[in-house]
């Protein structure tokens, strides 16, 4: 053993260049592999929560318009599921909530749910009922009893639940049982789902019956996003990518090994003929290989993880475990392969005379061009070595073809993600009633609100804007069916708007009822109706808090519109501000839920500016009252609206605040892109490195032949041509077939393509780079002394 080790060390020392070449090949490949693998892990592990945090405050929204709890069976929710129960019992209309499933903290906090008796559900067969619903439906059942609920549209006719708790009456929702649409924080109501409530609840795991579930696109949950990010972020896809990557890297390793193994053939043959038995020769090969690859792979893994850490800040344990397992696996595989080749080549001492010549097959292949003659003959007679190179190239190009397509699709998805409030998805198939248009509005996020708020101390309120919809009204007749219509028309005439513009906006308009109602609560100043309607005046809704304003104060209001109706995105979102003067201060009692809703509705429309405290009094989160303005079907209306704003309100100007949310979103999307780019560049780098190593190694093996050819007058350019011709056929075939197969797989996997040209460009680029590699090797060969080559 000592002799063997001594020989191996001496051999590696004597063949430093060869050893260093192999070491670097393994090292660099491993660096890319480790970086990619750890990034995949890092991304896979962190993306779910990160994306949830960024692409939506909540995990998802689902709604049901069921008149019964029949839809319960369609949802396989592990989180809280809230179903509005609107069935009847003893002719009494109920309008209550049932909670079933595992109530998680987020949803519970969000919905302000508290158990007044028992506890909240923890498993799917448990249920908690609102107190009033319990009293109506199951007055004789107590917590701990089993109750059964009819499920009319499910296969089961009846579902049995354990009544685990009684919860409060959800007053925090501002539940409006009078038929008016409730103003609810975090809730969206509208259109056909007039009886439905949308709750922000955590729905994790599989959600079936998605025709009933609505996910707001701006609040994409991770599942939605991952599915659209094929190959990048989903668990399965990440696993598939990892396996593909591992296989690819292993093949690259074996290709490199194969060539290096043949370079050592002469020495092993000499040893074999000198009396070394098979085991000894195999041991030499295994030790030599291990000495090369073990440190190379470990260092490569460390380097790759370092890249990930620099980029992402952490490397998960799972990555390290995977990499360690891969190193062990690789070493074993490579050693077995090496020993196999050695045994196959040197089993019998007669083989130790070394490979004297290639077989005669292929002699018939000929060409009048000496470069092609040699190249074709070499290609035919040394097929194994070239095949090793060709296989890696083929796989690389195929993977790259798929990857660039996925990347293009991913970019497209990211662009779509940047459409924060894509209401067209939500409302496409809905019939909307007039004046329900407010339900088209989506609130600003807290960050957006804060971005406006932080602009200055004077920004104390956010102006809600409504888009009025004319074309899709299911009401007959005018836009407004009551006296408000005339009021608005009169207002518009006073303001100088044409009839065509009426549909577009009604800004700060107050109807007579509202004026009368507000007038009764004015404690200072007077209502300036025209001023309110033109946006130059506002009423301050006082609540006795610290943030009071008085008559005459000038305050600034902010709101948001999207400047590009075709492609709404944060980039194209503009923040507008308007300066208004407080003309009056009012104080409302807010003594009943109905009155609250009505007051809020009127006052927000009517230009009343609410103090924070006043909002709190009626349970409104002010952050969600700021409105993103986007017309769902005909965005030209938005333009007209903006133009009208700008023409009629001289104090209107827009700001260019950059939102925190956008920054975070950018970070996430750049992270996704980084994973994709690293994957593509990793594959390209690994394959090009293995190509370069294999080609350089083959050139080194043939240095004597090349030396002779150069002695016979082969110029540098001819050497380049020779190398290109020798490798070109296999490379061209590999690239072409890889690109075609990749394209077919892309079609098969139904990945939307931005165009086949992308694959063509990639393949052409790959070909150019391989040509450059050949040129460099040719240059290197020409720089080596001919005398050294033929010595």
Write out the residues near another protein by the rule CB under 8 A.
356-358, 360, 363, 369-370, 373-374, 377-378, 381-382, 704-705, 707-716, 718, 782, 785-787, 790-791
Choose between 89 and 266: whose C-beta lies nearer to another protein.
Answer: 266
Choose between 221 and 378: whose C-beta lies nearer to another protein.
Answer: 378
Minimum distance from CB of 720 to another protein (Å)?
12
Choose between 118 and 707: whose C-beta lies nearer to another protein.
Answer: 707
User: Could you give the CA distance from residue 249 to residue 243 in angstroms, rounded to a whole number?
Assistant: 10
User: Could you give the CA distance from residue 66 to residue 87 in angstroms, rounded to a whole number?
Assistant: 9
Choose between 380 and 522: whose C-beta lies nearer to another protein.
Answer: 380
3-state secondary structure 251-313: HHHHHHHHHHHHHCHHHHHHHHHCCCCHHHHHHHHHHHHHHHHHHHHHHHHHHHHHHHHHHHC
For 651, left (φ over 0), alpha (ψ -120 to 50), or beta? alpha
What 3-state DSSP class applies to 555? strand
Residues facing 577 on adjacent strands: 558, 653
Choose between 310 and 712: whose C-beta lies nearer to another protein.
Answer: 712
Task: Note every long-range contact of 273-282, with CB atoms under 8 Å and residues 24 or more positions apart, other chains counting.
Answer: 273/349, 273/352, 273/353, 278/343, 278/346, 278/347, 280/4, 281/342, 281/343, 281/346, 282/339, 282/342, 282/343
Q: How many other C-beta atoms lie within 10 A of the C-beta of residue 249?
A: 26
Choose between 2 and 360: whose C-beta lies nearer to another protein.
Answer: 360
Q: β-strand 627-629 against 554-562: which pairing, if any?
A: parallel
Choose between 664 and 790: whose C-beta lies nearer to another protein.
Answer: 790
How many Å is the Cα radius of gyration of the chain?
36
Instruction: Dihedral sign for Cα 473, 477, 478, 482, please.
Output: negative
Element (H, E) at 396: helix 383-417
Q: How many other C-beta atoms lie within 10 A of the C-beta of residue 105?
A: 10
Minimum distance from CB of 269 to another protein (Å)?
16
Choose between 302 and 782: whose C-beta lies nearer to another protein.
Answer: 782
Minimum distance from CB of 719 to another protein (Å)?
10
Please answer whether residues 185 and 624 qualify as being in contact, where contact means their C-beta atoms are separated by less than 8 angstroms: yes
User: Could you give the CA distance from residue 703 to residue 156 in angstroms, rounded to a whole number?
Assistant: 79
Choose between 99 and 719: whose C-beta lies nearer to another protein.
Answer: 719
Place of tokens 């011709």: 725
Minimum distance from CB of 364 to another protein (Å)?
10
Minimum distance from CB of 294 to another protein (Å)?
29
Minimum distance from CB of 283 to another protein (Å)?
31
What is the 8-class DSSP label of residue 100? Answer: E
Going along 571-709, which residue ranges are E strands? 573-586, 608-610, 627-629, 653-655
Minimum distance from CB of 718 to another protein (Å)?
7
Minimum distance from CB of 693 to another protein (Å)?
22
Choose between 1 and 787: whose C-beta lies nearer to another protein.
Answer: 787
Minimum distance from CB of 363 to another protein (Å)?
6
Choose between 601 and 708: whose C-beta lies nearer to another protein.
Answer: 708
Please answer whether residues 583 and 537 qualify as being in contact, where contact means their C-beta atoms are separated by less than 8 angstroms: yes
Choose between 112 and 715: whose C-beta lies nearer to another protein.
Answer: 715
In terms of C-beta density within 10 A (0-12 exposed, 13-18 middle, 19 or more buried), how is residue 776 classed? middle
Minimum distance from CB of 385 to another protein (Å)?
13
Minimum distance from CB of 681 to another protein (Å)?
35
Q: How many other C-beta atoms lie within 10 A of the C-beta of residue 350?
A: 9
Minimum distance from CB of 378 to another protein (Å)?
5
Minimum distance from CB of 788 to another protein (Å)?
8
Place of tokens 């007959």: 476
CB proximity list for 135: less than 8 A, separation 6 or greater: none
Question: Measured between alpha carbons, how far apart are the two ends of the chain, in Å?
Answer: 33
Choose between 348 and 356: whose C-beta lies nearer to another protein.
Answer: 356
């Amino acid at each position: 053993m000592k002799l063997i080790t001594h020989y191996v060390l001496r051999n590696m020392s004597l063949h430093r260049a060869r050893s260093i070449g192999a070491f670097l090949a393994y090292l660099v490949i491993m660096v890319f592999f480790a970086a990619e693998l750890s990034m995949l892990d890092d991304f896979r592990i962190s993306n779910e929560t990160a994306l949830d945090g960024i692409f939506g405050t909540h995990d998802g929204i689902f709604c049901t318009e069921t008149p019964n709890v029949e839809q319960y069976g369609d949802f396989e929710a592990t989180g809280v599921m809230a179903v509005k129960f609107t069935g009847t019992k003893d002719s009494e209309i109920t309008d209550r909530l049932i909670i079933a499933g595992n109530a998680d903290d987020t949803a519970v906090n969000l919905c302000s749910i508290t158990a007044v008796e028992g506890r909240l559900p923890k498993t799917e067969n448990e249920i908690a009922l609102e107190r009033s619903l319990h009293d109506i439906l199951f007055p004789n059942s107590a917590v701990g009893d089993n109750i059964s609920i009819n499920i009319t549209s499910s296969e089961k006719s009846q579902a049995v639940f354990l009544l685990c708790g009684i919860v409060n009456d959800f007053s925090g929702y501002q539940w409006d049982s009078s038929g008016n649409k409730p103003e609810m924080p975090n809730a969206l109501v509208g259109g056909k789902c007039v009886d439905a409530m949308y709750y922000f609840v955590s729905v994790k795991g599989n959600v079936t019956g998605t025709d009933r579930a609505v996910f707001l696109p701006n609040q994409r949950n991770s599942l939605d996003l991952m599915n659209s990010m094929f190959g990048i972020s989903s668990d399965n896809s990440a696993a598939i990518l990892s396996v593909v990557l591992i296989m690819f890297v292993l093949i690259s390793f074996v290709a490199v090994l194969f060539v290096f193994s043949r370079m050592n053939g002469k020495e092993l043959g000499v040893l074999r003929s000198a009396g070394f038995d098979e085991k000894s020769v195999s041991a030499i090969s295994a030790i030599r290989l291990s000495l090369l690859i073990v440190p190379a792979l470990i260092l490569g893994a460390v380097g790759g993880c370092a890249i990930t850490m620099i980029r992402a800040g952490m490397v998960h344990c799972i990555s390290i475990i995977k990499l360690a397992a891969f190193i062990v696996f690789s070493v074993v595989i490579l050693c077995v392969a090496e020993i196999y080749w050695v045994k196959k080549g040197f089993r019998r001492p007669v083989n130790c005379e070394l490979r004297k010549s290639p077989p005669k097959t292929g002699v018939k292949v000929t060409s009048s061009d000496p470069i092609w003659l040699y190249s074709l003959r070499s290609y035919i007679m040394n097929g194994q070595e070239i095949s090793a190179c060709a296989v890696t190239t083929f796989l690389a190009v195929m993977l790259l073809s798929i990857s660039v397509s996925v990347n293009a699709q991913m970019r497209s998805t990211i662009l779509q993600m940047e459409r924060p409030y894509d209401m067209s998805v939500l409302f496409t198939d809905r019939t909307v009633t007039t004046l329900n248009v407010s339900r088209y509005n989506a609130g600003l996020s807290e960050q957006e609100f804060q971005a406006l708020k932080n602009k200055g101390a004077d920004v104390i309120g956010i102006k809600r804007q409504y888009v009025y919809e004319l074309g899709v009204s299911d009401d007959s007749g005018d836009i407004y069916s009551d006296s408000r219509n005339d009021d608005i028309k009169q207002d518009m005439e006073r303001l100088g708007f044409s009839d065509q513009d009426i549909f577009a906006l009604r800004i700060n308009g107050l109807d007579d009822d509202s004026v009368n109602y507000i007038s009764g609560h004015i404690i200072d100043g007077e209502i300036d109706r025209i001023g309110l309607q033109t946006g130059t005046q506002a009423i301050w809704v006082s609540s006795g808090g610290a943030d009071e304003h008085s008559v005459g104060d000038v305050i600034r209001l902010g709101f948001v519109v999207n400047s590009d109706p075709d492609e709404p995105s944060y980039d194209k979102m503009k923040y507008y501000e308007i300066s208004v003067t407080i003309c009056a201060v009012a104080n409302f009692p807010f003594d009943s839920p109905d009155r609250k809703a009505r007051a809020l509705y009127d006052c927000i429309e009517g230009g009343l500016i609410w103090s924070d405290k006043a909002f709190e009094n009626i349970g409104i989160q002010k952050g969600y009252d700021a409105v993103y303005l986007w017309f769902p079907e005909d965005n030209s209306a938005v333009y007209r609206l903006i133009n009208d704003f700008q023409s009629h309100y001289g104090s209107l100007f827009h700001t260019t605040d950059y939102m925190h949310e956008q920054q975070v979103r950018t970070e996430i999307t750049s992270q996704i892109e980084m994973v994709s780019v690293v994957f593509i560049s990793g594959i390209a780098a690994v394959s090009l490195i293995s190509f370069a190593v294999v080609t350089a190694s083959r050139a080194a093996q043939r240095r004597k032949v090349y030396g002779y050819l150069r002695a016979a007058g082969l110029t540098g350019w001819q050497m380049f041509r020779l190398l290109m011709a020798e490798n070109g056929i296999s490379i061209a075939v590999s690239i072409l077939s890889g690109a075609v197969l990749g394209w077919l797989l892309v079609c098969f996997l139904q990945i939307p393509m931005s165009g086949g040209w992308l694959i063509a460009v990639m393949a052409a680029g790959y070909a150019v780079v391989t040509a450059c590699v050949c040129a460099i090797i040719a240059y290197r060969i020409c720089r080596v002394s001919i005398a050294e080559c033929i010595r």
